[in-house]
Amino acid sequence: MLQVQQVSKHFDRRRSVDGINFEMERGEIVGFLGPNGAGKTTTMRMITGYLTPTSGQIWLDGLPMHEPSRKARGKIGYLPETPPLYPDMTVMSYLRFVADLRDVPARQQKLRMSEMIDRLGLQGRERQIVRSLSKGYKQRLGLAQAIIHKPDLLVLDEPTSGLDPSQIVEIRQLIRELGEQHTVLLSTHILQEVSTLCSRVLIINEGKLVADGPSQQLDRSLNDKFQVALEVKARPAALHTLLDSWSWAETNYVLAEPDEQQEQLIRVRLQGEDGTDFRERLSLALGEARIPILELRRESMSLEDVFLKLTSESVAEPTSVDVSSSDQLALKQEAAISSATDETLHSVIITEQEAGANSKAKANTNAKSNVDATKETKETVSSASSDLSNTTTTPGSDTTSTKMKDKEDRA
């Protein structure tokens, strides 16, 4: 339905959007994510025909949006970050005005306006002056103006930004309902919003598209091996011997006190050879060794982890399904390191069986700098969006001592 082909936008020679490509199918709800200044709004404004691309083409149902005709514009509904409302009009007079602008035939206008009132939950507010509406109701009216002409594609720029939690829930529900009849492109900083609303996610960073795929699949493509986080009570020495004897799970890291002979709480992250779930086997093996399990949970990257990873590094090509093994290695190191506290980073030794001795040394250095980069990005992103920072979690943050070993080192 929508084809964005090699689109760039330069402002004063600065590339705000840099050669992006993607397509959207009818009926999709696509989340458009990126840090502040990444180019989301600029891209959306080009798709809606409000900005002309410096280069590239945008096609909507075969009509060129890079040189939009009135007919092409009529196929799009757009809710910018600040809803385009006239504060001195009443709700009804504003809807009539927009219906006129959007070429809704005069004989259909009354019906269409009352449909908008019902659909957007604006009953009882028809005669209210727009200025006096709450932010949530202004957003509803903004959505009404975006769909009054029954567009095929709905483009929503941060539709829940600045709303209180109950208004966010209401607007999300409305978007979900709108998604049943419209194709939706939605930009947001709230990753949970993408998980709950969107079938697919696009991530843009510094004007370039760095990821495109179903949100679930993005997580898997960056994390294709089954991983578990485990907390047990054992003597580290005994646990190491047991872990070494398993061929079906590889130890990513172990967090334990230095005393190898002292029974203690130990945190372990294990990784299977592939995506097979080995939790049952693991619990049986630990039971047999009489090692009590205090916690066992599957570890996967959250959408937030994916977002932070992809926006904290420059990626030339969008990640859709595959990543290189070196990328996976860096990811594991980053994940392991981010589980340790700041105080414990100095004692971290990276474990990677598939990496050679040289790359191990390099990995160690990279891992530490990754921590700084990741922390910095997290700070940037969280200052940019309080919603994002609310969902940040780093397992193992209360650990007092970190020791990471691999089987080779111990041998």
CA dist 395 → 97, 243, 261 (Å): 53, 21, 25
Site for ligand ATP in 12-41 (CB under 6 A): 16, 34, 36-41
Q: For ligand ATP, which is the closer residue by CB, 45 or 102?
A: 45
Find the shortest distance in angstroms from Cβ 40 to ligand ATP.
4
Q: For ligand ATP, which is the closer residue by CB, 10 or 119?
A: 10
Dihedral-angle region of residue 161 (phi above 0 means left; psi in -120 to 50 means alpha; beta otherwise) = beta
Find the shortest distance in angstroms from Cβ 305 to ligand ATP.
20
Q: x/- site string to ligand ATP, residues 35 to 74, per CB under 6 A? A: -xxxxxxx--------------------------------
In the chain, DSSP finds a helix count (H) and a strand count (E) of 15, 14
Query: Which of 337, 355, 354 lies closest to 394, judged by CA?
Result: 337
Quick check: 306 and 219 in contact, CB under 8 A? yes
**Cα 401 to Cα 407: distance, rounded to the nearest angstrom:** 20
Packing angle of the helix pair 135-147, 165-178 (nearest 10 deg)? 10
Using the structure block, give the residue that is written with the tokens 């009926």: 27
- Written as six digits, the tokens of 358 are 């040289």
Find the shortest distance in angstroms from Cβ 211 to ligand ATP.
15
**Cα 178 to Cα 148: distance, rounded to the nearest angstrom:** 12
11 forms part of the interface with ligand ATP (CB under 6 A): yes
Find the shortest distance in angstroms from Cβ 203 to ligand ATP.
11
Dihedral-angle region of residue 4 (phi above 0 means left; psi in -120 to 50 means alpha; beta otherwise) = beta
311 forms part of the interface with ligand ATP (CB under 6 A): no
Q: For ligand ATP, which is the closer residue by CB, 30 or 116?
A: 30
DSSP helix/strand/coil, 402: coil
Find the shortest distance in angstroms from Cβ 291 to ligand ATP.
48
Q: For ligand ATP, which is the closer residue by CB, 187 or 402?
A: 187
Q: For ligand ATP, which is the closer residue by CB, 34 or 272?
A: 34
292 forms part of the interface with ligand ATP (CB under 6 A): no
Find the shortest distance in angstroms from Cβ 46 to ligand ATP.
10
**Cα 298 to Cα 290: distance, rounded to the nearest angstrom:** 22
- Written as six digits, the tokens of 22 are 């993607």
Q: Which residues here bind ligand ATP, judged by CB under 6 A?
A: 11, 16, 34, 36-42
